[in-house]
Amino acid sequence: MRIAYILTSLGIGGAEKQAISIGERMAGRGHQVLLIVLRSPEKQEWPTNLLTIHLGMKRSGPDMVGGFLRARRTLRSFKPDLLHSHTFPANMMARALRAAGVSPVVLTTIHNIYEGGGRRDFAYRMTDSFSTYTTAVSESVANRNIAARTVPRGKCSVITNGIDTERFSPSAIEARKEDTRKRFLWLSAGRDTPAKDFDNLLTAFREVRAQMPNAQLWIAGCPASYRDIGGRSEINGVQWLGISEEMPRTISDCDGFVLGSAWEGMPLVIGEAMAMEKPVVATNVGGVRELIGDAGMLVPSRNSQALAQAMLRMMRMPECERALIGQAARERIRGHFEINWKADEWEGLYTHILSEHR
Protein backbone atom coordinates (compact mmCIF):
# COMPACT_ATOMS: atom_id res chain seq x y z
CA MET A 1 0.00 0.00 0.00
CA ARG A 2 0.99 3.66 -0.41
CA ILE A 3 1.07 5.49 2.93
CA ALA A 4 1.68 9.21 3.53
CA TYR A 5 2.49 10.26 7.09
CA ILE A 6 1.90 13.88 8.09
CA LEU A 7 3.75 15.38 11.07
CA THR A 8 3.93 18.91 12.41
CA SER A 9 7.71 18.72 12.77
CA LEU A 10 10.56 16.26 13.19
CA GLY A 11 11.64 17.92 16.44
CA ILE A 12 12.86 15.79 19.32
CA GLY A 13 9.61 14.51 20.78
CA GLY A 14 7.92 11.20 21.48
CA ALA A 15 5.09 11.57 18.95
CA GLU A 16 7.54 12.36 16.17
CA LYS A 17 9.86 9.51 17.10
CA GLN A 18 7.01 7.02 17.24
CA ALA A 19 5.58 8.06 13.86
CA ILE A 20 8.99 7.78 12.20
CA SER A 21 9.58 4.35 13.77
CA ILE A 22 6.29 3.03 12.43
CA GLY A 23 6.82 4.62 9.01
CA GLU A 24 10.26 3.07 8.68
CA ARG A 25 8.91 -0.34 9.59
CA MET A 26 6.15 0.00 7.02
CA ALA A 27 8.78 0.86 4.41
CA GLY A 28 10.81 -2.14 5.52
CA ARG A 29 7.79 -4.35 4.86
CA GLY A 30 7.60 -3.21 1.26
CA HIS A 31 5.02 -0.41 1.46
CA GLN A 32 5.59 2.88 -0.35
CA VAL A 33 6.00 5.57 2.32
CA LEU A 34 6.11 9.38 2.12
CA LEU A 35 6.65 11.71 5.08
CA ILE A 36 5.20 15.24 4.91
CA VAL A 37 6.35 17.70 7.59
CA LEU A 38 4.48 20.99 8.04
CA ARG A 39 7.41 23.02 9.37
CA SER A 40 10.89 23.76 8.05
CA PRO A 41 13.82 21.54 9.11
CA GLU A 42 15.01 22.20 12.66
CA LYS A 43 18.54 22.27 14.08
CA GLN A 44 17.87 19.16 16.13
CA GLU A 45 15.37 16.63 14.86
CA TRP A 46 14.96 12.90 14.51
CA PRO A 47 16.88 11.48 11.55
CA THR A 48 15.07 9.31 9.02
CA ASN A 49 15.74 7.66 5.67
CA LEU A 50 12.12 8.05 4.60
CA LEU A 51 11.33 10.24 1.59
CA THR A 52 10.56 13.52 3.35
CA ILE A 53 8.96 16.77 2.18
CA HIS A 54 9.15 19.86 4.42
CA LEU A 55 6.43 22.41 3.68
CA GLY A 56 8.09 25.28 5.59
CA MET A 57 4.76 26.45 7.01
CA LYS A 58 4.45 29.21 9.59
CA ARG A 59 1.43 30.75 11.28
CA SER A 60 0.87 33.48 8.67
CA GLY A 61 -1.95 33.15 6.15
CA PRO A 62 0.19 33.08 2.97
CA ASP A 63 2.48 30.40 4.45
CA MET A 64 -0.50 28.30 5.43
CA VAL A 65 -2.08 28.53 1.99
CA GLY A 66 1.22 27.92 0.21
CA GLY A 67 2.00 24.90 2.36
CA PHE A 68 -1.45 23.43 1.79
CA LEU A 69 -1.15 23.84 -1.98
CA ARG A 70 2.29 22.22 -2.03
CA ALA A 71 1.01 19.30 0.08
CA ARG A 72 -1.92 18.85 -2.28
CA ARG A 73 0.35 18.80 -5.35
CA THR A 74 2.72 16.34 -3.67
CA LEU A 75 -0.05 13.96 -2.67
CA ARG A 76 -1.75 14.08 -6.06
CA SER A 77 1.55 12.92 -7.51
CA PHE A 78 2.18 10.28 -4.81
CA LYS A 79 -1.44 8.98 -4.92
CA PRO A 80 -1.60 7.61 -1.35
CA ASP A 81 -4.03 4.91 -0.33
CA LEU A 82 -4.02 6.37 3.17
CA LEU A 83 -2.96 9.52 5.04
CA HIS A 84 -1.87 8.95 8.65
CA SER A 85 -1.41 12.14 10.68
CA HIS A 86 -0.01 12.77 14.16
CA THR A 87 -0.53 15.76 16.52
CA PHE A 88 -3.13 18.51 16.19
CA PRO A 89 -1.78 20.76 13.38
CA ALA A 90 -0.96 17.76 11.20
CA ASN A 91 -4.34 16.20 11.97
CA MET A 92 -6.09 19.36 10.78
CA MET A 93 -3.96 19.44 7.61
CA ALA A 94 -4.78 15.80 6.82
CA ARG A 95 -8.49 16.45 7.20
CA ALA A 96 -8.30 19.53 4.98
CA LEU A 97 -6.44 17.53 2.36
CA ARG A 98 -9.09 14.84 2.41
CA ALA A 99 -11.71 17.53 1.91
CA ALA A 100 -9.67 18.58 -1.15
CA GLY A 101 -9.91 15.04 -2.48
CA VAL A 102 -6.27 13.92 -2.36
CA SER A 103 -6.86 10.71 -0.39
CA PRO A 104 -9.90 8.52 0.21
CA VAL A 105 -8.80 7.57 3.73
CA VAL A 106 -7.44 9.65 6.63
CA LEU A 107 -6.32 8.14 9.92
CA THR A 108 -5.88 10.62 12.79
CA THR A 109 -3.75 9.83 15.86
CA ILE A 110 -4.13 11.85 19.09
CA HIS A 111 -1.05 11.72 21.29
CA ASN A 112 -1.99 13.65 24.42
CA ILE A 113 -4.68 13.97 27.03
CA TYR A 114 -4.64 17.75 26.43
CA GLU A 115 -4.07 19.10 22.92
CA GLY A 116 -4.65 22.79 23.52
CA GLY A 117 -8.08 23.41 25.02
CA GLY A 118 -11.63 24.08 23.92
CA ARG A 119 -10.88 25.63 20.53
CA ARG A 120 -8.95 22.59 19.41
CA ASP A 121 -11.64 20.29 20.78
CA PHE A 122 -14.16 22.24 18.71
CA ALA A 123 -11.94 21.96 15.62
CA TYR A 124 -11.66 18.20 16.06
CA ARG A 125 -15.42 17.94 16.50
CA MET A 126 -16.26 20.03 13.44
CA THR A 127 -13.81 18.19 11.14
CA ASP A 128 -14.44 14.65 12.34
CA SER A 129 -16.34 13.79 9.16
CA PHE A 130 -13.06 14.20 7.23
CA SER A 131 -11.29 11.62 9.40
CA THR A 132 -12.04 8.05 8.45
CA TYR A 133 -10.84 6.76 11.81
CA THR A 134 -9.07 8.02 14.93
CA THR A 135 -6.62 6.28 17.23
CA ALA A 136 -5.33 7.31 20.64
CA VAL A 137 -2.05 6.35 22.30
CA SER A 138 -3.71 5.30 25.56
CA GLU A 139 -7.10 4.44 27.00
CA SER A 140 -6.98 7.67 29.00
CA VAL A 141 -6.51 9.74 25.84
CA ALA A 142 -9.30 7.86 24.07
CA ASN A 143 -11.74 8.18 26.98
CA ARG A 144 -11.04 11.87 27.40
CA ASN A 145 -11.68 12.62 23.71
CA ILE A 146 -14.80 10.47 23.55
CA ALA A 147 -16.14 12.28 26.63
CA ALA A 148 -15.31 15.65 25.04
CA ARG A 149 -17.14 14.52 21.86
CA THR A 150 -14.11 15.22 19.69
CA VAL A 151 -14.47 11.71 18.25
CA PRO A 152 -17.39 9.24 18.33
CA ARG A 153 -16.79 6.07 20.34
CA GLY A 154 -17.37 3.90 17.27
CA LYS A 155 -14.61 5.66 15.33
CA CYS A 156 -11.87 5.45 17.94
CA SER A 157 -9.55 2.74 19.24
CA VAL A 158 -6.25 2.55 21.10
CA ILE A 159 -2.85 1.59 19.74
CA THR A 160 -0.22 2.35 22.35
CA ASN A 161 3.31 3.50 21.67
CA GLY A 162 5.90 0.85 20.91
CA ILE A 163 9.43 0.45 22.27
CA ASP A 164 12.44 -0.90 20.40
CA THR A 165 13.46 -3.48 22.99
CA GLU A 166 16.53 -4.53 21.02
CA ARG A 167 17.99 -1.03 20.98
CA PHE A 168 16.82 -0.29 24.52
CA SER A 169 18.27 -3.32 26.23
CA PRO A 170 20.75 -3.52 29.12
CA SER A 171 22.62 -6.27 27.30
CA ALA A 172 23.20 -3.95 24.32
CA ILE A 173 25.14 -1.43 26.43
CA GLU A 174 28.54 -2.19 27.87
CA ALA A 175 28.57 -1.19 31.54
CA ARG A 176 30.91 1.63 32.49
CA LYS A 177 33.67 0.69 34.91
CA GLU A 178 33.57 3.88 36.95
CA ASP A 179 32.67 3.61 40.65
CA THR A 180 29.21 5.14 41.13
CA ARG A 181 28.38 3.62 44.53
CA LYS A 182 28.58 6.97 46.28
CA ARG A 183 25.76 8.58 44.31
CA PHE A 184 22.23 7.86 43.13
CA LEU A 185 21.56 9.26 39.69
CA TRP A 186 18.05 10.10 38.54
CA LEU A 187 17.29 10.75 34.91
CA SER A 188 14.38 12.73 33.49
CA ALA A 189 13.72 13.79 29.91
CA GLY A 190 11.49 15.92 27.74
CA ARG A 191 11.08 19.31 26.14
CA ASP A 192 10.58 22.22 28.51
CA THR A 193 6.81 22.58 28.13
CA PRO A 194 4.02 23.08 30.69
CA ALA A 195 3.06 19.43 30.20
CA LYS A 196 6.43 18.18 31.52
CA ASP A 197 6.24 20.48 34.58
CA PHE A 198 9.95 20.50 35.33
CA ASP A 199 9.35 22.99 38.13
CA ASN A 200 7.40 20.28 39.98
CA LEU A 201 10.30 17.88 39.50
CA LEU A 202 12.95 20.40 40.55
CA THR A 203 11.01 21.33 43.69
CA ALA A 204 10.79 17.65 44.56
CA PHE A 205 14.48 17.16 43.88
CA ARG A 206 15.42 19.96 46.27
CA GLU A 207 13.69 17.97 49.04
CA VAL A 208 15.37 14.75 47.93
CA ARG A 209 18.77 16.42 47.90
CA ALA A 210 18.20 17.91 51.36
CA GLN A 211 17.69 14.45 52.81
CA MET A 212 20.09 12.49 50.59
CA PRO A 213 22.96 14.72 49.40
CA ASN A 214 24.31 11.93 47.19
CA ALA A 215 21.33 12.35 44.83
CA GLN A 216 21.94 13.71 41.36
CA LEU A 217 19.50 14.56 38.57
CA TRP A 218 20.15 14.61 34.84
CA ILE A 219 17.56 16.16 32.52
CA ALA A 220 17.82 15.19 28.86
CA GLY A 221 15.93 16.66 25.93
CA CYS A 222 16.03 20.38 26.77
CA PRO A 223 18.50 22.79 25.22
CA ALA A 224 21.04 23.82 27.82
CA SER A 225 19.71 27.41 27.82
CA TYR A 226 16.61 26.27 29.71
CA ARG A 227 18.64 25.64 32.83
CA ASP A 228 18.84 29.41 33.48
CA ILE A 229 15.07 29.92 33.62
CA GLY A 230 13.88 30.84 37.10
CA GLY A 231 17.22 30.17 38.77
CA ARG A 232 17.23 26.52 37.76
CA SER A 233 20.98 26.56 37.19
CA GLU A 234 21.47 27.21 40.91
CA ILE A 235 19.99 23.88 42.00
CA ASN A 236 22.79 21.67 43.28
CA GLY A 237 23.07 18.21 41.78
CA VAL A 238 21.14 19.01 38.59
CA GLN A 239 22.75 18.69 35.17
CA TRP A 240 20.94 19.73 31.98
CA LEU A 241 22.17 17.44 29.21
CA GLY A 242 20.52 19.09 26.23
CA ILE A 243 19.55 16.74 23.42
CA SER A 244 21.00 13.31 24.14
CA GLU A 245 22.46 11.75 21.01
CA GLU A 246 22.45 8.26 22.50
CA MET A 247 19.55 7.72 24.88
CA PRO A 248 20.19 4.01 25.55
CA ARG A 249 23.63 4.92 26.95
CA THR A 250 22.22 7.87 28.91
CA ILE A 251 19.51 5.70 30.46
CA SER A 252 22.02 2.94 31.18
CA ASP A 253 24.14 5.34 33.23
CA CYS A 254 21.29 6.27 35.60
CA ASP A 255 19.96 4.44 38.66
CA GLY A 256 16.31 5.41 38.25
CA PHE A 257 14.01 7.37 35.97
CA VAL A 258 11.62 10.10 37.16
CA LEU A 259 8.93 12.11 35.39
CA GLY A 260 6.94 14.88 37.08
CA SER A 261 4.52 15.72 34.24
CA ALA A 262 1.27 17.66 34.65
CA TRP A 263 -0.33 15.79 31.75
CA GLU A 264 0.69 13.18 29.20
CA GLY A 265 -0.55 10.85 26.52
CA MET A 266 1.78 7.87 26.87
CA PRO A 267 5.38 9.05 27.34
CA LEU A 268 7.73 7.07 25.17
CA VAL A 269 10.78 7.76 27.32
CA ILE A 270 9.26 5.97 30.33
CA GLY A 271 8.85 2.87 28.20
CA GLU A 272 12.45 3.17 27.05
CA ALA A 273 13.67 3.46 30.65
CA MET A 274 11.59 0.42 31.61
CA ALA A 275 13.07 -1.55 28.70
CA MET A 276 16.50 -0.68 30.13
CA GLU A 277 15.42 -2.21 33.48
CA LYS A 278 15.34 1.11 35.33
CA PRO A 279 12.91 1.62 38.24
CA VAL A 280 10.51 4.46 37.50
CA VAL A 281 8.80 7.12 39.62
CA ALA A 282 6.21 9.16 37.74
CA THR A 283 3.06 11.21 38.09
CA ASN A 284 -0.18 9.36 37.49
CA VAL A 285 -1.31 11.27 34.39
CA GLY A 286 -2.67 10.20 31.01
CA GLY A 287 -1.57 6.71 30.04
CA VAL A 288 1.33 6.49 32.49
CA ARG A 289 -0.46 3.94 34.71
CA GLU A 290 -1.33 1.86 31.63
CA LEU A 291 2.36 1.84 30.72
CA ILE A 292 3.91 1.21 34.14
CA GLY A 293 1.37 -1.16 35.68
CA ASP A 294 2.91 -2.45 38.92
CA ALA A 295 6.50 -2.02 37.70
CA GLY A 296 7.11 1.41 39.25
CA MET A 297 5.77 4.08 41.62
CA LEU A 298 3.00 6.55 40.77
CA VAL A 299 2.15 9.80 42.55
CA PRO A 300 -0.41 12.59 41.94
CA SER A 301 0.52 15.34 39.51
CA ARG A 302 1.54 18.81 40.74
CA ASN A 303 2.42 17.37 44.16
CA SER A 304 6.16 17.83 44.60
CA GLN A 305 6.09 16.52 48.17
CA ALA A 306 4.57 13.21 47.07
CA LEU A 307 7.05 13.00 44.21
CA ALA A 308 9.98 13.62 46.55
CA GLN A 309 8.80 10.98 49.01
CA ALA A 310 8.45 8.37 46.25
CA MET A 311 11.94 9.16 44.98
CA LEU A 312 13.32 8.80 48.50
CA ARG A 313 11.53 5.48 49.00
CA MET A 314 13.02 4.17 45.80
CA MET A 315 16.50 5.33 46.76
CA ARG A 316 16.27 3.72 50.20
CA MET A 317 15.26 0.33 48.82
CA PRO A 318 17.92 -2.38 48.81
CA GLU A 319 19.59 -2.51 45.43
CA CYS A 320 18.33 -6.04 44.86
CA GLU A 321 14.71 -4.87 45.23
CA ARG A 322 15.22 -2.08 42.72
CA ALA A 323 16.76 -4.61 40.36
CA LEU A 324 13.63 -6.79 40.60
CA ILE A 325 11.43 -3.77 39.79
CA GLY A 326 13.61 -3.04 36.79
CA GLN A 327 13.43 -6.62 35.54
CA ALA A 328 9.65 -6.63 35.89
CA ALA A 329 9.53 -3.34 33.99
CA ARG A 330 11.43 -4.76 31.02
CA GLU A 331 9.26 -7.86 30.92
CA ARG A 332 6.16 -5.65 30.89
CA ILE A 333 7.48 -3.67 27.92
CA ARG A 334 8.48 -6.82 26.05
CA GLY A 335 5.10 -8.39 26.71
CA HIS A 336 2.85 -5.43 25.84
CA PHE A 337 4.71 -2.62 24.05
CA GLU A 338 7.29 -4.13 21.69
CA ILE A 339 7.64 -1.93 18.58
CA ASN A 340 7.41 -4.71 16.01
CA TRP A 341 4.13 -5.92 17.52
CA LYS A 342 2.83 -2.35 17.29
CA ALA A 343 3.86 -2.25 13.64
CA ASP A 344 1.77 -5.41 13.15
CA GLU A 345 -1.19 -3.64 14.78
CA TRP A 346 -0.82 -0.59 12.53
CA GLU A 347 -0.47 -2.65 9.39
CA GLY A 348 -3.54 -4.66 10.34
CA LEU A 349 -5.54 -1.49 11.00
CA TYR A 350 -4.46 0.06 7.70
CA THR A 351 -5.52 -3.07 5.83
CA HIS A 352 -8.87 -3.22 7.63
CA ILE A 353 -9.70 0.45 7.03
CA LEU A 354 -8.79 0.24 3.34
CA SER A 355 -10.86 -2.92 2.86
CA GLU A 356 -13.84 -1.13 4.44
CA HIS A 357 -13.55 1.85 2.08
CA ARG A 358 -12.98 0.18 -1.29
Range of the domain at 36: 2-162+338-356
Q: Are residues 243 and 316 in the same domain?
A: yes
Distance of alpha carbon 276 from alpha carbon 316, whole angstroms: 21
What is the dihedral angle through the alpha carbons of 278, 284, 290, 295, rounded to the nearest 10 degrees?
30
0.85 surpassed by pTM: yes
Please, what is the Cα angle at 256 between 253 and 260, to 5 degrees? 125
Q: Are residues 132 and 21 in the same domain?
A: yes
DSSP for 217-230?
A: EEEESS-GGGGGGG
Specify the pLDDT at position 181.
57
Q: Are residues 157 and 174 in the same domain?
A: no
DSSP for 137-178?
A: SSHHHHHHHHHTTSS-GGGEEE----B-TTTS-GGGSPPP-S
Q: What is the pLDDT along the chain (358 residues), one digit of tens a residue?
A: 999 999 999 988 899 999 999 999 999 999 999 999 999 998 888 999 999 999 999 876 778 899 999 999 999 999 999 999 999 999 999 999 999 999 999 999 999 999 888 999 999 999 999 999 999 999 999 999 999 999 999 999 999 999 999 999 999 887 665 555 579 999 999 988 899 999 999 999 999 999 999 999 999 986 555 555 545 556 789 999 887 778 999 999 999 999 999 999 999 999 999 999 999 999 999 999 999 999 999 999 999 999 999 999 999 999 999 999 999 999 999 999 999 999 999 999 999 999 998 7
Q: Are residues 8 and 135 in the same domain?
A: yes
Q: How many separate domains does the chain show?
A: 2
Q: Are residues 79 and 20 in the same domain?
A: yes
CATH number, residue 250:
3.40.50.2000
Q: Are residues 149 and 192 in the same domain?
A: no
Q: Are residues 177 and 319 in the same domain?
A: yes
Q: Are residues 349 and 317 in the same domain?
A: no
Specify the pLDDT at position 106.
98
Q: Are residues 342 and 332 in the same domain?
A: no
Q: Are residues 153 and 174 in the same domain?
A: no
Q: Are residues 64 and 154 in the same domain?
A: yes
Q: Are residues 264 and 327 in the same domain?
A: yes
